[in-house]
A and B are shown apart, each in its own frame.
Chain A
Amino acid sequence: MSTWIAAGAVIALLIAVAFVFLFRKLASPGRRADLNPDRPSDFSLEKYRPMERLFSQQDYEFLSSQPGFSPKLVRRLRAERRRIFRRYLQCLSRDFDRLYAATKLLLLHAPEDRPDLALTLLRQRMTFRYALATVHLRLALQTLGLGTVDVRGLVGAVEALRDQLRALSAQPAALPVYER
């Protein structure tokens, strides 16, 4: 009996913690930003440019032709570039989330029912999370010397994202009070 009650108390506590977490999120400034997404002032395409070159074979070929070259140096350089690449992925993830938030807002205020857009958005998010996880996995495999990561085309995609964010920021966002 006491085991059941202890187990019940633990589950209730977990649910209570989940509620507290969600209520904090509901009241968080991040959610308020979602309701009225401001464009990121620090958004710059240029910051993604070096991403394409991070795993370029040319750099390593050049390095190997230099005096004092050692495999250890290459390993250290690759490790350092993986760390930088992961930072870029974090930024990309943030920018994706901003665009995603803007699209959710579009769906929310759509004049008619849009289950198709809701499904598309859900698929987009799942695909992005899956692709991101796979890229992280490939980075981990690269640490073991297996394969590489090719990000050509990614910067082009981010460029389109930047344009979209700019277009959205040009639209006025008044904040009237709406009363039921």
Chain B
Amino acid sequence: MSDTSKEDELIANLRIIIEGCATDPIDLSNFSTTTKVQEIGLDSLTILDMFYDIEQETGISIEQEELVDFRTVGDITTLLINKGA
């Protein structure tokens, strides 16, 4: 699978995970690699939920230092691709 289609698949999965985690209504209509996580309006608990679910879904273990190093959805998908998702 090419990196682009892999990324598209990850974005679709990420969107499902975020929708499942969010406690308040969020707008994911323009959800893409350039979407800033902060702009989606996710609170810290939803972000933690999201990372937990990502680890469970992908079987990938995300290190503590990697958790603070993301700003956009693309940062998360790149991290997951680099870790072999």
Genuine A/B complex: no
Q: Which residues of A contact B (CB under 8 A)?
A: none
Q: Which residues of B contact A (CB under 8 A)?
A: none
